[in-house]
Amino acid sequence: MARKTLSAPEPITESLGATLPEVIREEADHNKSMALQVADAEARFHDGEEYNEERLTMVANGVASRVALEFAVGGAALIRIKARFGHGNGFTTFIQTRCNFSMDTAQKMMLVAHALLLPNNQPRPLLTTVAAQGRGSIGKALALASLSREELDKLDAGEMVNGMTIGSIEVMSLKDMREEIAARDIENGKLRADKLKLVEGRMPKDGSEPAVVLGRLAAEV
Tens-place pLDDT, residues 116-160: 999 888 999 999 888 887 766 888 999 999 899 999 999 999 999
Q: Give CA–CA dist 96/77, Å, rounded.
A: 16
Alpha carbon distances (Å) from 156 to 9, 70, 144, 170: 67, 19, 12, 12
With pLDDT > 70 as the criterion, what percentage of the chain qualifies? 65
Q: Judge whether residue 189 has pLDDT over 50.
A: yes
**Range of weakest confidence among 17-21, 24-28, 146-150:** 17-21
Q: What is the mean pLDDT of residues 178-185?
A: 77
Binning pLDDT at 50, 70 and 90, where does residue 15 land? very low
How much is the average pLDDT of 90-112?
Answer: 92
Query: Are the beta carbons of 63 and 17 closer than 8 angstroms?
Result: no
Handedness of CA 66, 69, 71, 74 (dihedral sign): negative
State the average pLDDT over residues 191-216. Answer: 44
Does pLDDT of 84 surpass 80?
yes
- 73 φ, ψ to 5°? -65, -40
At 166, the pLDDT band (50, 70, 90 cuts) reads very high
Degrees to nearest 5, angle at CA 130 with 126 and 132: 120
Least confident of 56-60, 82-86, 164-168: 56-60
How many other β-carbons are positioned within 10 Å of the β-carbon of residue 23? 13
Cβ–Cβ < 8 Å for 116, 72: yes
Check pLDDT > 50 for residue 25: yes
What global pTM score does this model have? 0.62
